[in-house]
Every structure is written in structure tokens, then in C-alpha cells.
Amino acid sequence: MFDVKKIYEARERIKDVVVDTPFSYAPHLSKSSGCEVYLKKENLQVTGAFKIRGAYNKIATLEGAQKECGVIAASAGNHAQGVALSASMFGIKAVIVMPESTPLTKINGVKNYGAEVILHGINYDEAYAYALEHGKKNSLTFIHPFEDEEVIAGQGTLALDILDKCQDLDAVVIPVGGGGLISGMAAAIKSVNPNIEVIGVSAKGAPALKNSYELKTAVDSLSVRTIADGIAVRDTSPITLGYMLQSVDRFISVDDEEIASAILFLLEKQKLVVEGAGAVGVAALLHGKLEHLRGKKVALVLSGGNMDVTLLSVIIEKGLLKSGRKMKLTVTLVDKPGSLMRFTQILQELNANIVHIAYDRTSISLDYGDANVTVHVETKGEEHQSMIYKVLKEENYIRD
């Protein structure tokens, strides 16, 4: 079992650095899931994620010579910012290796904390390998995002914060990538109340740790692909797997569609911006993956809120289309004065608000004298969209 004493020591070290983020009842989520749901909002933490806990605790425990030489880490975002900020607080050098595809906002976030950023590799694993090599050459101490006892201890303090506010929970649902967060939290939870069920949730596009948990032996995956980049870990850590096999009761996964719907739900219903990795627990609850928790008291960890704005805009757009609040239509008109006016007039009469329109008369699929018109319209649900289709068919704008 993980040494719980380390978690309490970590809590003392980081108490003046981390924010005691809100732990509050979620009425909309409780109603939709049939559970009594509480959200631990680590998306409101310093740097926007829980990672500052483990990063600061690790750097605080380094020896003098290690601090003097500086630290290095590999990360696509949250761990990078945690290490960068922690290093700046100790006045030591920090180098962060990030994949070349890392969004500019995350790169700038790390630079703003005073760290040097090196872009290398097409994914985290290539960045990680380079960071180890670069750190060794330059005498920098490598700060691992999850395979380190002091990092795990720091992450485990999150469970103590939850249990300070509520010990009579039936379950705690925790996002899982490399396993550092759930390893620390599960150890702390079981030490206080062994009856609390600890549930891990991963992304289906990053299956290595879940497969390993089920097989009870470490296996890696060939690749990862998920919008939850904060938990997109390809290889399994035998260390965190060992801790999880001792303390984690259940391990499930959710796909990108489920994660996207959870992000949108949190944005609309809870007024919270939560990244994909932080929303997986909500995704599991919303999509019936935790039916055994109905009627029970459940805590969900929203592990981070550093959402790429470009991805968020795509999620919102797709969410509007799926929920019947937006639709795209392409119709063929006779390319003559008045044709477009009549089409838009019909949409106006149907209370469908046009937000985008495109006119194409050059497509090779068109007959001469015709034009394709594509419109994006705001609608009021599936019934409203059915009415629009019906009327446009009657007016011969849409053909079977």
C-alpha cells in the first residue's frame, strides 16, 4: 500500500500554495443521474489543474544540489504548468519539453511562469524520451508526471480536501491517465473510510492502463487518440498499476462523444469550463456507466480546466447540431433574381434564424443555371427541424 503518511506530509508542504477549491452539490447532474452528486472543482486550482499539488511537493523535497541545477519535465500542458510555477516559486531553472503539436495557449502558459520550452516529437512519449536524455546531459532533475512517490503524495492531498468536507460518501470518481492522481487519492480515501468505493475513469482512446488493470499486469498500447489530452497516456506505469490494484474498486472508460457531451453539459448547466480529462467522470455518470450508484452520495473530481479554445468551439458547434438547436441545409435553386429571397423568406416564416449562408454556382455536379445554397440555421429542437424539412419538401427545395 502507498505510505499515507507521505500524503499528510505533502499537505503540510503545499498548504500555502494550492487553493482549497470548491466542493459543492451539483443539482442538475444529481437530477439527471439519480445520485447525490458533489463536484470537486480542481479546474479552479492554481494553473487550472490539480497537477500543481504533486509538482510542488516533489520540487520541495529535492536536495540543495538538485535545486541548484534545475528541473526538467515532459508534458503537453497541466504538469508542465505545475512544474513551471513550482520551480519559479523556488527560484530554480525549469525546462519543459512539449510535443510539437501542443496548442499555443499551453505553450504560452508555461512560458509565462518563466520556464524554458522545448518543442520536440509528435506525441508525449517522444517528448518524454527527449526530456530524459536532455536532462541527463544537463544535470537537470526529471520531474515525472505520475511515476514518483512524492508526486503521487501531492496528488493524494486532493482526497484529504474532499474528506475534510464530507466523509460519508459512497463513492469517489476520479479521472485516470498515468494513474498518479488515483493512486494517491485511493490510498488516502481507503485510510480514512475503506467503505468508500474508488472508481477510475479513462478515455477509450487511451486504453493501456485500463487493460492492465483488468489483466493485472502492465501492458502498453500502440497509440492513443482522444480529445482528453490530459489523460492520453500510451504506456502503463507498473508502479501506479500496483497501487491501483490494491486500492481501486472499479475501472471504466468513456469515448470521445461521451466526453464532449459532458464538457458541454458542465458548460451549460454548471457554468464550468472543464477540459476533456476533467470531464470523464461526468461523462460516465451521464451515459449510464455508473448505474450501480443510483441513490448514493458521489464525489466527482473535475481534474482540470485548461481547455483548448479551438476544440471547445468544435464541441459547442457539434453539441448544438446534435441537440437540435442548429441545423445545416443545402438546397439547389434556379440561379435567377428572387430565388434566394423566397428561400430565406420561408425560413423567416418558420422562425429559423440564419447564422451562415454560402452560395455556389460553380460546382461540377450542378446543371447550368442552378446554384447550391448552404445555410446554417438556429432551431428550437427536433420538432422544429422536422417542420422545416416538411415545408421545404412541400416547396420543392428538398427532394427525396
Question: Which of the residues are catalytic?
Answer: 51, 303
Task: Tell me the C-alpha distance between 4 and 153, whole Å.
Answer: 8
The span from the first CA to the last CA of the chain, in angstroms, equals 64
- The one-letter code for the residue type at 346 is I
Beta bridge partners of 370: 334
- Please state, as a whole number, how many other Cβ atoms lie within 10 Å of the Cβ of residue 228: 28
Task: Tell me the C-alpha distance between 113 and 364, whole Å.
Answer: 53
C-alpha cell belonging to residue 307: 481547455
| Closest C-alpha among 278, 56, 282 to residue 155 | 56
- Please state, as a whole number, how many other Cβ atoms lie within 10 Å of the Cβ of residue 197: 18
**Where is 85: in which H helix or E strand?**
helix 78-90
Task: Tell me the C-alpha distance between 246 and 237, whole Å.
Answer: 15
3-class DSSP assignment, residue 207: coil
| Closest C-alpha among 132, 158, 135 to residue 45 | 158
- The one-letter code for the residue type at 73 is A
- Please state, as a whole number, how many other Cβ atoms lie within 10 Å of the Cβ of residue 24: 13
- Report DSSP letters for 229-279, one per residue: GGG---S--HHHHHHHHHH--EEEEE-HHHHHHHHHHHHHHS-----TGGG
Phi, psi of 31 (to 5 degrees): -65, -45
